[in-house]
Structure formats: structure tokens, C-alpha cells
């Protein structure tokens, strides 16, 4: 009897998660508007003037990794051992029919209002 009750509980929770359609997501299309919003949101999250993000970011994978630009000398050569910070990680999720970018370190969530996404 307990096995039947447990099976029913598992099936009901699975149905609830499917109907809510929440989880890791990818962008269905990468428009200039979506890309501009993504740059703006990530820049604000990291408190920097701007970031460089590929035009196709988040179209095939739900994770976005941002690394700081390496320090360079006057000749443009990369300075070794100067950057000690870790890359910043973000994940695109679909929550309540919205596309939301989650900053992994801070758990802050940013809605991408111009984006269209689907579950991965």
C-alpha cells in the first residue's frame, strides 16, 4: 500500500513540474534587442560599464560564463599572473513563462523581458 501511495505522489509531483514548465532554458532566437538587454543585465549584475557577449550566447546552452578581460602591457601582450578573480556564471531559466537570468554566485534573478526562450 505504501508503494502505491508513494508512486501516486511521485507521479503527481512530476505532472506539476511539467505543467509549470520551469527549468534550464535556451533562447529561441537571438535578436539585437535581446542581445542588448543581455549585455545590459550582465553588466549591471557585475557592476561594470559593459561586457562582451557573443551574439549566439544562450541559444544552445543555458549557461553563460563571463571572464574578466586579461590585463595587457603597453605592447598589447597579456600580463601573466595578474587576474586572480574567478569567472562569473549565469544560467537562463524559464519560470512562469518568463525568461530569467540567474547569477550563480549571488542567486540574483533578472527577467529578460525582450527574450523568448524554451526549456532546454
d(CA 23, CA 92): 9
The answer to whether residue 91 is domain-embedded is: yes
Q: What is the extent of the structural domain holding 58?
A: 22-67+85-120
The answer to whether residue 9 is domain-embedded is: no
The answer to whether residue 72 is domain-embedded is: no
The answer to whether residue 118 is domain-embedded is: yes
Please name which of 93, 97, 103 lies closest in space to residue 41, comparing C-alpha atoms. Answer: 103
The answer to whether residue 57 is domain-embedded is: yes
Residue-wise pLDDT for 44-99, tens only, equals 999 999 999 999 999 999 999 999 888 788 998 888 766 678 999 999 999 999 99
CB 55 within 8 A of CB 68: no
Integer-rounded Cα Rg, in Å, for the chain is 19
What predicted TM-score, i.e. pTM, was given to this entire model?
0.77
How many domains would you assign to the chain? 1
Amino acid at each position: 500500500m505504501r508503494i502505491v501511495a508513494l508512486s501516486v505522489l511521485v507521479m503527481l509531483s512530476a505532472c506539476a513540474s511539467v505543467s509549470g514548465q520551469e527549468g534550464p532554458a535556451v533562447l529561441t532566437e537571438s535578436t539585437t534587442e535581446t542581445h542588448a538587454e543581455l549585455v545590459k543585465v550582465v553588466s549591471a549584475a557585475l557592476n561594470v560599464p559593459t561586457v562582451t557577449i557573443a551574439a549566439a550566447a544562450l541559444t544552445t546552452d543555458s549557461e553563460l560564463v563571463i571572464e574578466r578581460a586579461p590585463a595587457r602591457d603597453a605592447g598589447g601582450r597579456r600580463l601573466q599572473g595578474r587576474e586572480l578573480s574567478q569567472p562569473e556564471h549565469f544560467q537562463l531559466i524559464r519560470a512562469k513563462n518568463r525568461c530569467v537570468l540567474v547569477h550563480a554566485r549571488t542567486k540574483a534573478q533578472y527577467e529578460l523581458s525582450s527574450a523568448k526562450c524554451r526549456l532546454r
